[in-house]
Chains A and B, each alone.
Chain A
């Protein structure tokens, strides 16, 4: 279980909204704090690491919660100091 400082609920939103919401939310964090982005869009599995690579924030980890056919993804992003 990865610990986060701030949670961002993007459930029900499709691309590009989770990424846009993340880019706005991360501004509220201090460097080193971890943002947990909760999404049910499968694209987040690839999109969040790609977003981190381009923006320089650290992709700490990702979790997939399976509840029957329903999938919920939790992406943990650590804000960079840059």
Chain B
């Protein structure tokens, strides 16, 4: 076994001096891989001491829905949407090679073998690190997603002004 001393200053040379700055992420996609990327960035940023706000809209809301929760929307069209559009952080499809869920299942298997956290664990970690999560009320209404069918710990139900108010103070604003 040989031990080499590495020079951390070399890795730093390419980075600009910076203080912790605000990060906002709009999560529109409900694909497992994209939501995973969003949470990896969010948890990483939070671990660096940066305040992070995630804004979930459209299919991104699926990551925050309780698994198997029924919609409590009254009209049939939104009830249909709620039924067809399966929620739950543990059952999101892959954006490619999903094969009716087989691809996502295999990906989760490989991830678990490699000690990689799945989306439910990443959500837990994010909440633990103080990542703020906002669910978009407009798309909740459109998709028949109601507050009582979301997982606990959602900080706010809000709209675009709330997001923009955060984003204008953000130095990293992402749309996934």
Contacts and interface: CB of A to CB of B under 8 A. Distances in A.
Given A13-B115, A49-B11, A63 B5 contact: yes
A66 B3 CA distance: 7
Contacts, number: 85
A50 interface: yes
Contacts of B3: 1, 63-65
Given A17-B117, A23-B129, A53-B18, A61 B8 contact: yes
| Among A48, A49, A67: residue with most chain B CB under 10 A | A49
Interface in A23-82: 23, 45-46, 48-55, 59, 61-67, 73, 75
Contacts of A14: 114-116
Given A20-B44, A55-B49, 16 more contacts: A12-B115, A13-B115, A14-B115, A15-B44, A19-B47, A23-B46, A23-B47, A46-B11, A48-B8, A49-B11, A50-B48, A52-B8, A62-B5, A64-B6, A65-B4, A66-B2
27 contacts: A1-B3, A12-B115, A13-B115, A14-B114, A14-B116, A16-B40, A17-B117, A19-B47, A19-B48, A20-B44, A20-B47, A22-B47, A45-B11, A48-B8, A49-B11, A51-B47, A51-B48, A53-B18, A54-B18, A54-B48, A54-B49, A54-B50, A62-B8, A64-B6, A65-B2, A66-B1, A75-B8
